Amino acid sequence: MMSRRTENVTRVDVRIPNELYEEIVAIALHHFNAKIHHRSNKPEVTPTILELIKIGIAHIESMLPVTKDLTNQKVTDELRQQIELLNLRLRTVENKLLGVNITAPIAKSETTGDEKILSDMELSELLGVSNLLISDYRVKGKKPRGQALAKALTEQWEVKGEGWVRKSS
């Protein structure tokens, strides 16, 4: 009789219910791309079983509730409390943002002397583009991709403070 233990592995006889075995075969095929044995034409399930055992051990070691004993119930209750606190914080932030417009702020038009200073929003409406493109160009110097818009911004408009002024011809 051959030994059941070598330096690296131990052979174990395990009786697995047929339904569970079919689930393992399905997992082996769909999730682990199991090789098909050349003689039996059935998927090789040993690597899948070993991986599932490792996943189960990692699950238990991570202290996630697996059974309904008192220790795991305490962990479950703590997780529920943390989730409730996070939900409360999220609702608070959502309520604060409820009436806030998330587009670039609209600055009021100013007039200095004979020139009118336009905000990013006003210039974007005038040119028919997003105010974010205008703002990115003014704040970050990021030229817009469209050739016509880039030309209009560089040749016809200039930044003055927080707004835009039409260049004098």
Q: Would the pLDDT of 61 be above 90? A: no
Q: If you average pLDDT over residues 112-139, what whole number do you get?
A: 78
Helix (H) or strand (E) holding 115, with range, is strand 115-117
Beta carbons within 8 Å of 156's beta carbon, 6+ residues apart? 166, 167
- Nearest CA-CA partner of 59 in 72, 46, 41: 72
pLDDT at 129: 79
| 130 in Cβ contact with 124 (< 8 Å) | yes
Q: Would the pLDDT of 10 be above 60? A: yes
Q: Would the pLDDT of 142 be above 60? A: yes
Under the banding of pLDDT at 50, 70 and 90, the label for residue 17 is: very high
pLDDT at 71: 57
Q: Would the pLDDT of 69 be above 60? A: no
| 34 in Cβ contact with 48 (< 8 Å) | yes
Mean pLDDT of the chain: 79
| 33 in Cβ contact with 45 (< 8 Å) | no
CA distance 29 to 94: 44
pLDDT at 133: 80
